[in-house]
Chains A and B, each alone.
Chain A
Amino acid sequence: MNLSNLSVGLSTYLLVGAMLFSIGLYGVFAKRNIIAILMSIELMLNAVNINFVAFNRFVWNQKSGTNYILTGHVAALFVIVVAAAEVAVGLALVITIYRNRQSTNVDEFNWLKW
């Protein structure tokens, strides 16, 4: 079997994205440290970006106008912007909570529970 003849299609990229998304989902559910949960959210956003770029790469034809051809790239760019803003505010919140409670364990963040 010649490995270089194996073709990488759209579904392969989508499977990579799905796998990254599921790993991030597991991290959000299972981790105790709030910074690890933020990292898992970043993984999920990366998986979504892979899907945007993959669809943009594979589902296109030369007849569509130049205004529409790179829409997936622009969407991925906006996702990156929102992810950067999210991680900045999220980490600031983590530091504030840590200053008040001396902890980053989400199991202890139950003071809104009644």
Chain B
Amino acid sequence: MGTVVFFIFAIMAIAAAWGVVTSKNIVHSALYLVLCFSGVAVLYVLMNADFLAAVQLLIYTGAVAIMIVFAVMLTLRGDISVSNTENRHWGWGALVAALVFIIMALVILANPDWRILATPWTSGGSAEDLSLLLLTRFMIPFEAAAVLLTVALVGAVVLAKGVKESK
């Protein structure tokens, strides 16, 4: 049961990722991106990472995708059906990406340590467990992440608003 669900959603996520990079219309790319993020969220559920699946749905398919669609809307000009074309070096990019994938696949398939199956999972993954970790062992990185988010928010507002030319 879990295996069938895994293959359905893994293939969906990869096909949607393929759609993101091959679609000529950038709005279609953004919609494929939403599909890909949703598929990855299902993979998180299959790996017993319930809270991360919820965060993935909220932040990626909710916030990031909407922000990308807004940026597309604010910057679009010309014909939308050719808004997302390849540059003239796409062949080299495909070659390098294929080589990277082949190397990674060889490493993954050749390593006997990673040929392991799931043992029953008993250590949670809910918001409660993660928050306990975040507020004790990972408190300093947690606060640093909070500062980073604040700085990024202010920086994004300043950049997008533009600086007044003053004498």
Chain A: interface residue total (CB-CB under 8 A)? 81
Residues 8-56 (chain A) with a chain B CB within 8 angstroms: 8-16, 18-33, 35-36, 38-40, 42-43, 46, 49-50, 53-54, 56
User: B129 to chain A: which residues have CB within 8 Å?
Assistant: 70
Pair B40/A49 contact, Cβ less than 8 Å: yes
Q: Is A112 close to B, CB under 8 A?
A: no
Q: Is the CB of B13 within 8 A of A32?
A: no
Most central of A5, A36, A82 by chain B CB within 10 Å: A36
- Residues of B near A46 (CB, < 8 A) are 36-37, 40, 60
Given A29-B90, A81-B145, check contact A92 B17 (CB 8 Å).
Answer: no
Give Cα A67–Cα B89 distance, bound, in whole angstroms. 47
Q: A19-B14, A22-B104, A26-B94 are in contact. Are A10 and B115 (CB under 8 A)?
A: yes
Our pick among B47, B98, B104, B151 for the contact of A53 (Cβ within 8 Å) is B47
Query: Given A25-B97, A70-B123, A70-B125, do A83 and B64 touch, yes or no (CB 8 Å)?
Result: yes
State the B residues within 8 Å of A (CB).
1-4, 6-7, 10, 13-14, 17-18, 20-21, 26, 29-30, 33, 36-37, 40, 43-44, 46-49, 51-52, 55-56, 59-60, 63-64, 67-68, 70-72, 74-75, 77, 83-87, 89-90, 92-94, 96-98, 100-101, 104-105, 108-109, 111, 114-119, 121-125, 129-130, 133-134, 136-138, 141, 145, 148-149, 151-153, 155-157, 159-160, 162
